[in-house]
Amino acid sequence: LAQGEGLRLEFKRTVPAASRMARTLAAFANTSGGRLVVGVSDDRRVLGVTSEQREMQRIERATDFLVDPPLAVSYVAVEVEGKKVLIVDVA
C-alpha cells in the first residue's frame, strides 16, 4: 500500500462491472503482469470487502467470459488494519 498505484499495481474499492474489470486484467496480462488490490481506495485507505467470494465471482466472470483467451489469475484474501482485502495477481 505504501508504494501506491502504478503500472503493475491498482487499487479498487470493489470489483467494477465485468467489462471494466476485463479491460484492467487484460492490460496487466498484455504487459508485464500486475496486482489488483480490492478493498482499498485510490488514496490508499483500507476499506475492506464485505464478501471476498462475491468479489472473486465477479472477477471470474470477467476472466472466463470476456477475455480471450481466458485469463488465469490467483487470489489471496488477507487482513489489513482489521479488514479483509482481496489481492489478485495476473501473470
Q: The pTM is what?
A: 0.90
Q: In what order do the strands lie in the sheet with 83-90?
A: 9-12, 34-38, 83-90, 73-80
| pLDDT score at 1 | 85
pLDDT in tens, 26-55: 999 999 999 999 999 999 999 999 998 999
Smallest CA-to-CA distance from 25 within 46, 41, 8 is with 8
Whether the predicted pLDDT of 73 surpasses 90: yes
